[in-house]
Structure 1
């Protein structure tokens, strides 16, 4: 039996008492994911494309391809510690690039193709990426920002034979098979692995520097929220972008750590019928789906009759799992479980439901996973640097403590003050408010900051406000999240327009276009209201709580 970070436990109490991280002294994720399995010729990746193409990649083939790319990147000058941007959707070149990076000791910077120019410019420059491997969909944006990223020496574009200018073709960077003599970098769980960027809810997005232990923490969590169902017989799919931690670490690499098969599909958006077709075609047994996606699946009539499904577990993260979704799964499928999980980019996936261990309580995030302590702290005391745990039933701030420090983040990249503020007397604070009941279940209430979760994506209002302010006819902008039945929340902007601005409908259209061009597709404001002036603090900051009151008045028939 090949080694895995989370063994089987029959019960929750047993797992919490007996589990230890016991991380290996030498560890390289490329070796772990590709080289340790008993049968290297088993399919690791089922790759599907919207045009109907289908490809398969075995563990051995992915190992060989990542060797070739590692050799090619080394020829470009990539060395241990260098940062390499990966701006590729759910296509084989995405994980192949990460694996090649780690074989060289380089650090991955996962980025979504949904980002626009501003978002890409900031992250590539802040990380000091020397190479970016990109999808053709973002080529124009990369060309536009490259001059503002002085460290970016090479751009490698996939799916092209002869890119214009000094961009290199991915296939041309791959070294010939006979020219690869790659021995994986001698790394440990504490070796740098990736810089993942937060949404920027309280300022510029923060680069979260992680070590290789990140992937083991995600693999252990996934094994639990997928009901201990990952292994050689598992086939796993998520529609979530592989740039996000829960999709990349908690789904893709967690599946490979445990020896299962992942399905890749670079869709431009989520469609319920298309999702059911994929689940059926590939016999998917476990799927991570944002709650928004599950709500859209609910619109398909009698899916078990229309599709031959093998699904056993749905896992939900990024937004609250509502009772109607739990009821729909129970009524629609035979013996299919649904588990919610909770975590942060910085602090791994630490709370979850596991239907094999305890009953799921609809609306609850579940219980702390083995290997972590969870407390609910007095938020005011935490802000003052003191950890004061609250009693069961009291509302406070979720705080976490790992049994092995390696599985949490190392630092915020170039932000030592932010790093220090994340830890309070040995506890890592989350900024999220919740209650913990007498049975140990954690019940999420709200966020301390103003981050918006829309369709499972975390969006920082300041980044959207900055994009809106790029429009010359906008004087001021304030952004909030408002409840939505399908997406959980949608982005709503309150805008103060210039005196000579065009009519409101025209300006709404132009603002949405500006945001779409600058940021990700999901970050544009679906609702825009105009006001003569916006509420501000004495220091000039937008008072978003006041905007929430305005929205409540609007819903009640009033006006700001």
Structure 2
């Protein structure tokens, strides 16, 4: 291990080799092994807290006991190896128990966000053919209504739900679990463990089937981005929902893998809540997505005036952080934020660390164990500075299989094949994200392939403009999309969310336009600014620019239709009777 500071990238990257055992189970490494160890069994695994409630500490021994009981109960209900079990729960102790119990059986955990509406839940439950769902009161009504339309969904297990004849109560199940409790399944490292559906920003969401060994594939990036986690006294917290890859693979599972406590907060996120949690639990390591960091920066420009923090590492992902937030983290929090890039299918592949110098605005470098590059449509490496698609090779630089990969899309072989290109020695998994590479191997994000657009012949990446707008003290968040234009093809348009107490005005819009014109290229400034109460977001905290693009396209269509109707009416009025 190298000391922090300096640039140790080459030695770390080229010296790393994967060690993936044939038999590997997430529950064994994240729970069982700690509970068996006399020195570690009473160590805190989870600090559970809800809004307005007192924190409760749960040990690894308690986690293992509950997981064993639940696995026995699930087995008695007929849940078998490979079966999908939905987990529709927030950050709470029972969520971690459910994951461990399902992995112990060799079944497949399917985490679903409590923010999902009935249609989103129904699609995923039907598509996955889930046989059971573990829920709490927040999703009880929706699941009861959906169950008759999901023939495979035989069992609903309720946590803190009222007594209902068609819902099995969590406490009753665990207290009456038949003995002997089953041991942890001897799963292959590439056996399926998790089914996570993509955000679905375009078309129906696809279920990415993730193997047990993907946890191993995530660890190099996790350790590096958290500045060599774990260290003595480390405590982890992230508001990232455990129902998606960022919360599960970037927070809950790696923290448990290393036997370190993680805070689970059941409540609404706010800047104040975030700082209070960081202070109260002495959090040292966190994953905060850029939207959360922007909220915290705007609410508490100088947090040291109100809070005493112990932060030593911040990872951020999902969107580009931008220079403004990057500088604030460094000056106000005393921590250089480590941006990370990954996606559900291949997570934690590129990023930063204190072992190599982070560059403001850069995605970072490929983490050890991952062969990542920027390639063109012909699968060839792009030249330095040239924009191409970020892709990760199925084998690392030593020719060993990379364990980070998903197994494929659930019941969608066509989409799985379309994700990969290349043949022969190198096969690439394309991410759909655009970037450029500099001479030192740092990647610079340019946006999703479907977010980048042309205006007046210029290629426009929304991220740089959005980050510039956020530098203004009145701007809380921004999203840039093309507005259809007959002459230029498209105009640059910005949707802007203002900070609390700021009123929209034409003068402010002009001020924001001037800000961008003064700092970026003349063709990049937004010709039109629309103030909006909130941006459309996915459940994973990403801005849904597609929704805004579609809105502008529909507006343009209606405007063209109205102009055509007016012209037609004028023509008819001018004709003799």
TM-score range, shorter chain: 0.7 to 0.9
Go from structure 1 to structure 2 and tell me whether the alpha carbon gap of 1:40 and 1:137 turns closer, same or farther (over 3 Å shift): same
Go from structure 1 to structure 2 and tell me whether the alpha carbon gap of 1:173 and 1:281 turns closer, same or farther (over 3 Å shift): same
Go from structure 1 to structure 2 and tell me whether the alpha carbon gap of 1:178 and 1:155 turns closer, same or farther (over 3 Å shift): closer
**356, 359, 383: which one aligns with 1:358:** 356
For residues 379 and 541 of structure 2, the distance between their equivalents in structure 1, rounded to whole angstroms, comes to 39
Asked whether the equivalents of residues 370 and 402 of structure 2 are also in contact (C-alpha less than 8 Å), the reply is no
Asked whether the equivalents of residues 340 and 365 of structure 1 are also in contact (C-alpha less than 8 Å), the reply is yes
* CA shift for structure 1 position 95: 1.3
Q: Secondary structure at the match of 1:372?
A: coil
Greater Cα offset, 299-308 or 42-51: 299-308
For residues 59 and 34 of structure 1, the distance between their equivalents in structure 2, rounded to whole angstroms, comes to 6
Asked whether the equivalents of residues 219 and 257 of structure 1 are also in contact (C-alpha less than 8 Å), the reply is no
Q: Secondary structure at the match of 1:417?
A: helix
**13, 34, 48: which one aligns with 2:31:** 34
Go from structure 1 to structure 2 and tell me whether the alpha carbon gap of 1:9 and 1:209 turns closer, same or farther (over 3 Å shift): farther
For residues 51 and 41 of structure 1, the distance between their equivalents in structure 2, rounded to whole angstroms, comes to 26
Asked whether the equivalents of residues 219 and 253 of structure 1 are also in contact (C-alpha less than 8 Å), the reply is no
**345, 359, 366: which one aligns with 1:368:** 366
Q: What residue in structure 2 maps to residue 152 of structure 1?
A: 153
Q: What residue in structure 2 maps to residue 60 of structure 1?
A: 61
Q: What residue in structure 2 maps to residue 472 of structure 1?
A: none
Superposed, 1:328-347 pairs within 5 Å as: 328-334=328-334, 336-347=335-346
For residues 447 and 531 of structure 1, the distance between their equivalents in structure 2, rounded to whole angstroms, comes to 18
* CA shift for structure 1 position 531: 8.6
TM-score by length of 1: 0.78
Show CA shifts across 1:509-541 (max 9, x none): xxx9xx99x9999999998998996678xxxxx
Asked whether the equivalents of residues 189 and 213 of structure 1 are also in contact (C-alpha less than 8 Å), the reply is yes
Go from structure 1 to structure 2 and tell me whether the alpha carbon gap of 1:230 and 1:337 turns closer, same or farther (over 3 Å shift): farther
Q: What residue in structure 1 maps to residue 315 of structure 2?
A: 315
Q: What residue in structure 1 maps to residue 403 of structure 2?
A: 406
For residues 302 and 138 of structure 2, the distance between their equivalents in structure 1, rounded to whole angstroms, comes to 36
Go from structure 1 to structure 2 and tell me whether the alpha carbon gap of 1:195 and 1:485 turns closer, same or farther (over 3 Å shift): same
Show CA shifts across 1:72-117 (max 9, x none): 1111111111000000000111111011001111001110000000
For residues 107 and 164 of structure 2, the distance between their equivalents in structure 1, rounded to whole angstroms, comes to 27
For residues 122 and 182 of structure 1, the distance between their equivalents in structure 2, rounded to whole angstroms, comes to 32
1:387 pairs with 2:379: yes
* CA shift for structure 1 position 250: 1.0
Show CA shifts across 1:12-34 (max 9, x none): 21111121111112211111011
Q: Secondary structure at the match of 1:120?
A: helix
Go from structure 1 to structure 2 and tell me whether the alpha carbon gap of 1:179 and 1:338 turns closer, same or farther (over 3 Å shift): same
Q: What residue in structure 2 maps to residue 415 of structure 1?
A: 412
Show CA shifts across 1:124-174 (max 9, x none): 1101100000121011111222122110000111013x4324011111121
Go from structure 1 to structure 2 and tell me whether the alpha carbon gap of 1:429 and 1:39 turns closer, same or farther (over 3 Å shift): same
For residues 528 and 429 of structure 1, the distance between their equivalents in structure 2, rounded to whole angstroms, comes to 24
Go from structure 1 to structure 2 and tell me whether the alpha carbon gap of 1:301 and 1:201 turns closer, same or farther (over 3 Å shift): closer
Asked whether the equivalents of residues 66 and 100 of structure 1 are also in contact (C-alpha less than 8 Å), the reply is yes
* CA shift for structure 1 position 178: 7.9
Superposed, 1:64-75 pairs within 5 Å as: 64-75=65-76
* CA shift for structure 1 position 180: 4.5
Asked whether the equivalents of residues 113 and 137 of structure 1 are also in contact (C-alpha less than 8 Å), the reply is yes
Q: What residue in structure 2 maps to residue 259 of structure 1?
A: 259
For residues 54 and 318 of structure 1, the distance between their equivalents in structure 2, rounded to whole angstroms, comes to 29
Greater Cα offset, 65-74 or 209-218: 209-218
Go from structure 1 to structure 2 and tell me whether the alpha carbon gap of 1:215 and 1:9 turns closer, same or farther (over 3 Å shift): farther
Go from structure 1 to structure 2 and tell me whether the alpha carbon gap of 1:324 and 1:84 turns closer, same or farther (over 3 Å shift): same
Superposed, 1:141-540 pairs within 5 Å as: 141-160=142-161, 162-176=162-176, 179-231=179-231, 233-268=233-268, 270-298=269-297, 299-334=299-334, 336-355=335-354, 357-378=355-376, 381=377, 386-402=378-394, 403=396, 404-425=401-422, 426-450=427-451, 483-484=495-496
* CA shift for structure 1 position 179: 2.9
Go from structure 1 to structure 2 and tell me whether the alpha carbon gap of 1:142 and 1:520 turns closer, same or farther (over 3 Å shift): farther
Listed as ranges, the gaps of 5+ residues in structure 1 are: 1-6, 462-479, 488-511, 537-541, 547-560
* CA shift for structure 1 position 481: 10
For residues 520 and 216 of structure 1, the distance between their equivalents in structure 2, rounded to whole angstroms, comes to 22
Go from structure 1 to structure 2 and tell me whether the alpha carbon gap of 1:309 and 1:446 turns closer, same or farther (over 3 Å shift): same
Go from structure 1 to structure 2 and tell me whether the alpha carbon gap of 1:323 and 1:530 turns closer, same or farther (over 3 Å shift): closer
Q: What residue in structure 2 maps to residue 139 of structure 1?
A: 140
Show CA shifts across 1:36-77 (max 9, x none): 345121101111111222211111110111001101111111
Q: Secondary structure at the match of 1:264?
A: strand
* CA shift for structure 1 position 230: 2.1
Show CA shifts across 1:436-473 (max 9, x none): 00011000102113599999xxx9x9xxxxxxxxxxxx
C-alpha RMSD of the superposition = 3.2
For residues 64 and 532 of structure 1, the distance between their equivalents in structure 2, rounded to whole angstroms, comes to 55
Q: Secondary structure at the match of 2:144?
A: helix
Q: What residue in structure 2 maps to residue 497 of structure 1?
A: none
Asked whether the equivalents of residues 69 and 175 of structure 1 are also in contact (C-alpha less than 8 Å), the reply is no
Show CA shifts across 1:367-415 (max 9, x none): 000111112111xx2xxxx412211111111111143243201111111
For residues 264 and 157 of structure 2, the distance between their equivalents in structure 1, rounded to whole angstroms, comes to 21
Q: What residue in structure 2 maps to residue 98 of structure 1?
A: 99
Show CA shifts across 1:176-202 (max 9, x none): 478342210011211110111012233
* CA shift for structure 1 position 175: 4.3
Q: How many residues align?
A: 474
Asked whether the equivalents of residues 116 and 520 of structure 1 are also in contact (C-alpha less than 8 Å), the reply is no
For residues 252 and 46 of structure 1, the distance between their equivalents in structure 2, rounded to whole angstroms, comes to 12
* CA shift for structure 1 position 232: 5.4
TM-score by length of 2: 0.76
Greater Cα offset, 74-83 or 197-206: 197-206
